[in-house]
Each structure stands twice: as structure tokens, then as C-alpha cells.
């Protein structure tokens, strides 16, 4: 009862902890405050954070300035998956991820397809989207007439923002007025499309949108048609969209069905089961979510390693998977004339300039490893990583099952949790080469070593 009381008392005290001017404190002062107010072992809490500081002070300062209130670095493993053959070009792909078996699975799939022609890719579009959201009370036809008049002005008054992008071949593609009053009363939007080339383009797009909003609103206020009618317009917000269904890449692999033969399953049976597995993910949302999560294991790992925004990519990809009003698989498969084909079409808004691409040393390293790709090439590489990961996962599911390979990769995590010594690790790994890995089985085996 006393320990319960102390625990409840501690929780209650935490609810009262407030701090003023936290962002103005030094990093050490922030850590001291956290340790004092939230941790039982204050020294250990502090040491944990400090142990992850970079010994290179200049590099640590760079990391500190990426975000606000930085107290330490949060590390993820950076691995590589070799043997990718993409459009007849060899790649070793960097992957930043903590999940066991992802890198191994991607590497295995890459090696499998490298001997069967490799991956083929195609960019289907690179259009990105932003919107100015506003309300308007008045005659819709009159608003459309006003938009037609001011549309050229929207382009011209954004010229100072778009000049450099246009020199490189990008810029604003189009601006349209969309009436959304059927969904929300008085709601309209300027739907704007952009080409940002090798830049992800978020800052460029948002700057353009805010200029559009200002020009559109100021023009409205000066227009005599609206002063006379008493119509009103209010800008709600201007922001890019992470839903980019026209910024699309396709990646595929194919081979004769007979080349899909495994040890215990012939090619025709493998292909049939594979197609059924994909069909299930195309029609059953409960399966599709996990199916696509596996794809994102590959995609996110490369997006993160190359300094791109994996949250934006995730949001856009999952919205695309639900574009038919039912959440479905991102990958598809077919057999025609005894040829098995497996492919993915996925929206990827990526950049190879700006953001962290020139700031983060490991991002620069990853880009050089990929031979400094353009944004289109990076789209292709990332899509291939997702397709490879999905092929490996589905292949495991329809043959040996997902746990056999995954748990063998997870074995080292279990051993580290048990603080196993090098000799214990060696003996345990050897034992489980021929035995099923489960957490309890590993615990029992290690305990048997320790009590022998």
C-alpha cells in the first residue's frame, strides 16, 4: 500500500509541473529540469541522454539546431541492402529502420530478381498540389467570373517566388477554382498544381499559396462587383497537400512462372498462391493494412535515410490506397502467357535538394551511395524498395510463414534483453539454427546455459 501511495503521489506531483521559458534554457538546464521533475534516478536519466551526444561538438551543434528543445540524439540503425538491379543499373540501397528482418528481406528479394532481369520502373507523373481554402457568400457565377479575371494576376504577382524554379523548368502548372459548397456551406478553394523538380518543394509551394491568397483577397476587396453586392470572402488557410496522386511512380518485376520454383513448391503453385495472396489484400482491408505496412517498411527506411519526410509520404500513400473509397493493396500481380508480373504504383513526393539533404552527414552519405540521384530516380529507387519488401513478405507468408525468418532475425534482440555474454550468444544462435525461435524458448535455453 505504501509503494502504491508513493506512486500515486509521484504521479500527482507531476501533474503540477509547469515551466516558463523552457526554450530559453541551455540544453544542460533543460536536462536538469527534466531529471529533477520526472525521474527517480536523476543521474542515470541525465547520463542516458549525454551518452548519445556526438563527441564532435560541431556535428552535435548541427543536430541540436535541426529542431527545438533538443536534449540528445535518437539513433536508428542505418543498414544497406545490396544487389538491386534497377533499369539495368546496380544499386546498394541505404535503409534507416529498427525492425528486424526488413533489410535482410529486401536484400534477399533484390538478389532473387537480379538474376531475372531486375526491377523496371517508370515515372507516371511529378505533379504536386497545394490549396487556398476560403469561404464566400454570394453568387457562384460572379465568383467564377472574378477568378477568370484575376487568374493571370495570381501568376504574375508570384513571379518573384517562381523565377528561379521556372529557370530550372518547374513552377506553377495551373490554378483552378473549386466549388465545395455541397460539402461545407460557403466553402471554396483554389486548387493549385506545381512542378518542383528535384526539390520536395514544400516551402516553395506554401510561399506561392500565401501569395495567391493575398492577391485573391486584395483583388476581391477592390472589385466593384462585390462592393455593390455586399458579398464577403474570407481566407481560411493556404497549405500544400501531401496527397499527390499525380506524383506517381511504377515499379515492376517479371519472369517465367517456372522460374519461381522454390525448394518445396513448384513455380505454378507458388504463382497461384502469390496471386491469391495479393487478391486478398486488394479486397480485404484488414489484410490490406498489414500488407501495405510491410511495403512501407521498405519505403520509409529509404525515405528516412535520404532525409525526406516519411510522415508526408505515409499520409499520401495510405490516402492513395483508399482512393476507391475502400482501402486496398498498393501492389498487384498477374500471369499472362506463363509470365508472372508483380508491380506497384505509388505516389512519392521526394526531394534530393534542400531540407536535410545537404545538412545531415549521413543523408549526404546515403545520397552519394545512391550515386546522387535526381528526384525522379529517387522515386524509382524508393518504389523498388517497397516492392522488394512486399515480395519477400508475401513469399514468406505463402511458403514457410512469416515468423520463421523474422524470429531468427529477432533472436539477437532477445539475447540483448537478457544481457547475454558473447559465448552465450554464439551457442544460442547455433542452437536455434535448427529449432523454432520464441521468446520463452530463448529464455529457457539461456537459463540452461547459465545453470549448467
Whether 99 is catalytic is: yes
406: annotated active-site residue = yes
Q: Active-site residue among 198, 252, 309, 380?
A: 309
Q: Is 318 a catalytic residue?
A: no
Q: What cell numbers appear for 370 in the block?
A: 545512391
Q: How far apart are CA 177 and CA 216, in angstroms?
A: 11
Question: Residue 433 catalytic?
Answer: no
Q: Measured between alpha carbons, how far is 85 from 145 in angstroms, rounded to an integer? A: 53
Of the listed 293, 334, 358, 435, which one is catalytic?
A: 293
Alpha-carbon Rg for the chain, nearest whole angstrom, is 27
Choose the catalytic residue: 64, 99, 157, 246: 99
Best CA proximity match to 332, nearest among 341, 321, 322, 323: 341
Q: State the CB neighbour count (10 A cutoff) for residue 2.
A: 6
Which residues are marked as active site?
99, 293, 309, 406
Amino acid at each position: 500500500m505504501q509503494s502504491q501511495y508513493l506512486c500515486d503521489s509521484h504521479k500527482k506531483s507531476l501533474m503540477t509541473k509547469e515551466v516558463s521559458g523552457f526554450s530559453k534554457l541551455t540544453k544542460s538546464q533543460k536536462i536538469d529540469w527534466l531529471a529533477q521533475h520526472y525521474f527517480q534516478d536523476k543521474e542515470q536519466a541525465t547520463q542516458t541522454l549525454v551518452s548519445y551526444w556526438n563527441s564532435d561538438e560541431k556535428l552535435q551543434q548541427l543536430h541540436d539546431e535541426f529542431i527545438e528543445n533538443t536534449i540528445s540524439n535518437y539513433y536508428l540503425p542505418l543498414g544497406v541492402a545490396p544487389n538491386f538491379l534497377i533499369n539495368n543499373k546496380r544499386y546498394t540501397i541505404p535503409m534507416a529502420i529498427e525492425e528486424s528482418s526488413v533489410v535482410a528481406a529486401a536484400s534477399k528479394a533484390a538478389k532473387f530478381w537480379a538474376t531475372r532481369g531486375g526491377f523496371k520502373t517508370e515515372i507516371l507523373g511529378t505533379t504536386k498540389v497545394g490549396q487556398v481554402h476560403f469561404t464566400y457568400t454570394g453568387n457562384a457565377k460572379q465568383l467564377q467570373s472574378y477568378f477568370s479575371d484575376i487568374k493571370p494576376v495570381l501568376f504574375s504577382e508570384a513571379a518573384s517566388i517562381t523565377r528561379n524554379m521556372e529557370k530550372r523548368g518547374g513552377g506553377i502548372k495551373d490554378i483552378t477554382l473549386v466549388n465545395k459548397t455541397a460539402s461545407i456551406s460557403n466553402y471554396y478553394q483554389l486548387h493549385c498544381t506545381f512542378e518542383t523538380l528535384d526539390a520536395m518543394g514544400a516551402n516553395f509551394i506554401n510561399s506561392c499559396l500565401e501569395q495567391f491568397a493575398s492577391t485573391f483577397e486584395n483583388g476581391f476587396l477592390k472589385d466593384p462587383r462585390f462592393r455593390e453586392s455586399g458579398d464577403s470572402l474570407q481566407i481560411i488557410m493556404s497549405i500544400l497537400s501531401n496527397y499527390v496522386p499525380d506524383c506517381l511512380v511504377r515499379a515492376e518485376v517479371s519472369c517465367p512462372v517456372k522460374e519461381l520454383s522454390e525448394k518445396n513448391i513448384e513455380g505454378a503453385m507458388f504463382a497461384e498462391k502469390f496471386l491469391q495472396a495479393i487478391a486478398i489484400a486488394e479486397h480485404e482491408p484488414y489484410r490490406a493494412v498489414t500488407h501495405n505496412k510491410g511495403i512501407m517498411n521498405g519505403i520509409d527506411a529509404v525515405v528516412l535515410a535520404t532525409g525526406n519526410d516519411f510522415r508526408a509520404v505515409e499520409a499520401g500513400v495510405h490516402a492513395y490506397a483508399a482512393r476507391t473509397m475502400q482501402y486496398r493493396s498498393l501492389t498487384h500481380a498477374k500471369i499472362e502467357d506463363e509470365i508472372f508480373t508483380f508491380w506497384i504504383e505509388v505516389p512519392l513526393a521526394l526531394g534530393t535538394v534542400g531540407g536535410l539533404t545537404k545538412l545531415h552527414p549521413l543523408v549526404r552519405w546515403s545520397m552519394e551511395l545512391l550515386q546522387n540521384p535526381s528526384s525522379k530516380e529517387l522515386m524509382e529507387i524508393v518504389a523498388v524498395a517497397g516492392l522488394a519488401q512486399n515480395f519477400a513478405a508475401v513469399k514468406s507468408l505463402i511458403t514457410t510463414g512469416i515468423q520463421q525468418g523474422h524470429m531468427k532475425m529477432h533472436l539477437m534482440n532477445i539475447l540483448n534483453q537478457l544481457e547475454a555474454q558473447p559465448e552465450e550468444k554464439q551457442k544460442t544462435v547455433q542452437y536455434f539454427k535448427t529449432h523454432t525461435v520464441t521468446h520463452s524458448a530463448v529464455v529457457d535455453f539461456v537459463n540452461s546455459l547459465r545453470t549448467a
